[in-house]
Amino acid sequence: MESIRLMLDFGVVILIWIVQLVIYPSFLHFSIDGLKVWHRSYAKNISYLVAPLMLTQLGIHASLGYYQPGLLNHLTLLLILLNWGLTFGWAVPLHARIENGTEINYVSTKLVSMNKYRTFLWTLVFLITLFQSI
């Protein structure tokens, strides 16, 4: 189970860095109408990667936190839960505002700045998992 956890954490960290460095900044270069069209397609398609990675990562960390309790296992679970909170409490409403076409430039900038916290937390999770596995 530890090797699956490492694979998932690695997958999540690569994905979030691509989102942070490439995808969200690209939103700033779209026209308002262009972004509305692209965003719907992007958000639907990226979910095929994001949803399985995020949910299975949470499941694996929750299982390990329960069956192999320990400081680091509980810490990574806490960080992941925090990221779920950021995702649904912060990222989801911002994406909804792009969907509705309101203040698109402002919202895109907010997405980039908000996402750095998710990027930091998921990177931390990966580093802890890496530390545990070497």
Partner 1 sequence: MKKLAGHSILKVVGFIVLAIFFLLAGINHFRDPEFYFPLIPHYLPYPELINTTAGIAEIGLGIGILIPGIRKIAIYLIIVMLIAFIPSHIYFIQLDGCIQEGLCVPVWLAWVRLIIIHPLLILWVWSYRNFNVYY
Rounded to whole angstroms, the Cα distance separating 119 from 37 reads 26
- H or E, element range at 69: none
Q: Does 34 help bind partner 1 (rule: CB under 8 A)?
A: no
Which of 14, 18, 37, 92 is in the footprint of partner 1 by CB under 8 A?
92
What span, in angstroms and rounded, lies between the C-alpha atoms of 6 and 45? 24
Q: Contacts with partner 1: how many residues (CB under 8 A)? A: 28
* Shortest separation between residue 115's beta carbon and partner 1, angstroms: 11
Using CA atoms, how far apart are residues 46 and 50, in angstroms rounded to an integer? 6
**87 is a site residue for partner 1 (CB under 8 A):** yes
Residue in 4, 10, 37, 88 binding partner 1, rule: CB under 8 A: 88
Q: Cβ atoms within 10 A of the Cβ of 18, count? A: 13
The residues of the shown chain that bind partner 1, judged by CB under 8 A, are 39, 43-48, 50-52, 54-56, 58-59, 62-63, 67, 84, 87-89, 91-93, 95-96, 99
